[in-house]
Structures are given as C-alpha cells and as structure tokens.
Amino acid sequence: MKKIISFLFVFLLIIGISYAIDIVKVHDMDNLLLKQDTINYSLQFNSYWISDIDNVSSPNFYGYIDRNGNWYIMKETLLDTTYNTTDTYRYYWGNSGYDSNWTNREDLTYGRYDSIF
C-alpha cells in the first residue's frame, strides 16, 4: 500500500511539475509574442527621421520622414502652469506632400496617436 501511495505521490508530483512547465512555456510564449509585437511596432517608427523642428514657442512642431516619403508631424503643446493644463502630443501624417504640410503645420487638424495611426 505504501508503494502505491508513494508511486501516486511521485506520479502526481511529476504531472504537477509538467503542468507548471507548460504554463511557464505558454506564459513565456505570450511574453515573446508581446515583445515581438513591440519590436515590430518600434521598428515601424524607427524608420522615421527628424527632418524639421519648430520649437520657438508652444506649440512646438517636429517633422519626421522615412526613406519612402511617408511622414508625420508631431505637435507638442507644453504645460501651462497659469491655466493648470497638461502637456499634449498630437499627430498628423501622410505619404506625400511633406513640404507643403510642414509649411502649413499650424493650420492642420491634429489627432491623438491612437486615432491617427
């Protein structure tokens, strides 16, 4: 009887360890996929290079272009302690006509990152 109980204990211990390893594998796979998505996402915007800066006074504008002619302009509105507002970052993008859009950057309709890209 003791041998059967010992065997069952070892058997359940092995199954439990195996199950725990499977959970870790799935967890690590999820993290790996998340990291891969983050890397792909980062690489997407690492191809853009700063081209123009207008930071004389808020709002500031930063123009980015990639080698294929895709571009975006980031509008940075800085904290105004007088009115107790917070900094905001808004975006406008396109795949042609960067120069004319940069020239007219103050008149563009900017949006939050999640609604623009």
- Hey, where are the domains in the chain? 1-46, 49-116
Closest CA to 87 of 78, 97, 96: 78
pLDDT of 44: 56
Preceding omega of 59 cis (within 30 degrees of 0): yes
- The per-residue pLDDT for range 78-102, each reduced to its tens digit, is 887 777 778 899 999 999 999 999 9
What would the mean pLDDT of 39-57 be, rounded to a whole number? 77
- The per-residue pLDDT for range 14-47, each reduced to its tens digit, is 555 444 444 444 445 555 454 444 444 444 557 8
CB contact set of 58 (below 8 Å; sequence gap of 6+): 76, 77, 78, 80
Is the pLDDT at 110 greater than 90? The verdict is yes
**Residue 48: C-alpha distances to residues 71, 76, 94, 95 (Å):** 7, 17, 12, 12
Is the pLDDT at 71 greater than 80? The verdict is yes
Residue found under tokens 């007219």: 104
